[in-house]
Chain A
Amino acid sequence: MGGKEEMKPYRRPVPNTWWLMRRSYFLFIVRELASVFVAAYSVFLLLVIYKLGQGPEAYEGMIELLRSPALIVFHLVVLAFAVYHSITWFNLTPKILVLFVGEVRVPPLLIAGAHYFAWLVLSALVAWVILRA
Chain B
Amino acid sequence: MSKSNEPIWWSLFAAGGVVSAFFVPILIIIIGIVLPFGLVGDEPFVYERIHGAVSHPVTKLLLFFLIVLTFFIWAHRFRYTLVHMGLHKARSVISVFCYGSAIVGTILTAIILWQI
Contact = CB atoms under 8 A, between A and B. Distances in A.
Contact of B22 (A29, A49, A60, A122): A122
Contacts, number: 142
Contacts of B35: 63, 66
B20 interface: yes
Interface of B: 14, 17-18, 20-36, 40, 43-45, 47, 49-51, 53-54, 63, 66-67, 70-71, 73-74, 76-78, 80-81, 84-86, 105, 108-109, 112-113, 115-116
A71 B36 contact: yes
User: 10 closest A-B pairs (Cβ-Cβ)?
Assistant: A75-B32, A39-B74, A16-B86, A53-B116, A123-B26, A133-B44, A86-B21, A89-B21, A35-B77, A67-B36
A49 B32 contact: no
B58 to A, nearest CB: 11
B40 A131 contact: yes
Interface stretch (A2-10, A40-48, A102-110): A40-48
Given A43-B105, A75-B28, 17 more contacts: A29-B81, A35-B74, A35-B77, A39-B70, A39-B74, A41-B70, A46-B67, A50-B116, A59-B50, A79-B32, A79-B33, A82-B24, A85-B20, A118-B22, A130-B44, A131-B30, A133-B43
Interface of A: 16, 19, 29, 32-33, 35-36, 38-39, 41-43, 45-46, 48-50, 52-53, 56, 59-60, 63, 66-67, 71-72, 74-76, 78-79, 82-83, 85-86, 89-90, 96, 118-119, 122-123, 126-127, 130-133
Contacts of B26: 122-123, 126-127
B112 A49 contact: yes
A46 B74 CA distance: 16
A83 B105 CA distance: 23
A126 B23 contact: yes
B85 to A, nearest CB: 6
Secondary structure of the A contact surface, majority rule: helix
B27 A126 contact: yes
Contacts of B54: 49, 52
A38 B31 contact: no
Contacts of B49: 133
Contacts of A75: 28, 31-33
Contact of B47 (A45, A48, A60, A119): A60
